[in-house]
Amino acid sequence: MARRFRLNTRGRTTVKTRGGDYRDLERALREVGRVVEREVAAEALGIASELIVGEAQIDSPVETGFLRESHFDEIAPDGRTAEMGASAVYAAAVHERHPTKKHWFVNAIFRSGPAILERSLKAAMERHFPGSTS
């Protein structure tokens, strides 16, 4: 089964997954909930999840390209939750056991998640409130 990461922009922000230490990303996401209105947060979350999935796609191992193409991000209708993952049936096995690209998705989140979220938030705020981030 694909590993899924749940990002939540409500006032009390969490990252839900199996295992791992996500405290830094949780702190960054908590700030989103405190600083912006719901629609700005939803837009920032959408931008961020798409960019994080893009990072993961770049880092994923490629033999046929199917795994890379199976990466996805979905925003919940309420705009508060994004799910990201890879839907190929073998994605979790490759994620855990690949000899050179092991944990590519988690690594993309740890490496880029907080910075991507910050840039996405600024972009969403600038779109809704021009001049607010200068």
Q: Are 43 and 9 in contact (CB under 8 A)?
A: no
**Higher-scoring residue by pLDDT: 16, 110:** 110
Instruction: Tally the residues of the chain.
Output: 134
**What count of Cα atoms within 13 Å lies in the side-chain half-sphere of residue 68?**
12
Residue 129: per-residue pLDDT: 76
Would you tell me how many other CB atoms lie within 10 Å of the CB of residue 13?
20
> Is the model's pLDDT at 82 over the cut of 60?
yes
Q: What percent of the chain clears pLDDT 90, i.e. is strictly above it?
A: 26
Residue 24: per-residue pLDDT: 59
How far is residue 119's CA from residue 110's CA, in Å, rounded to a whole number? 15
Q: Tell me: the pLDDT tens digits for 17-51?
A: 445 556 656 666 666 556 557 778 889 999 999 99
Which whole number is the average pLDDT over 58-74? 91
How far is residue 43's CA from residue 37's CA, in Å, rounded to a whole number? 10
How far is residue 17's CA from residue 87's CA, in Å, rounded to a whole number? 16
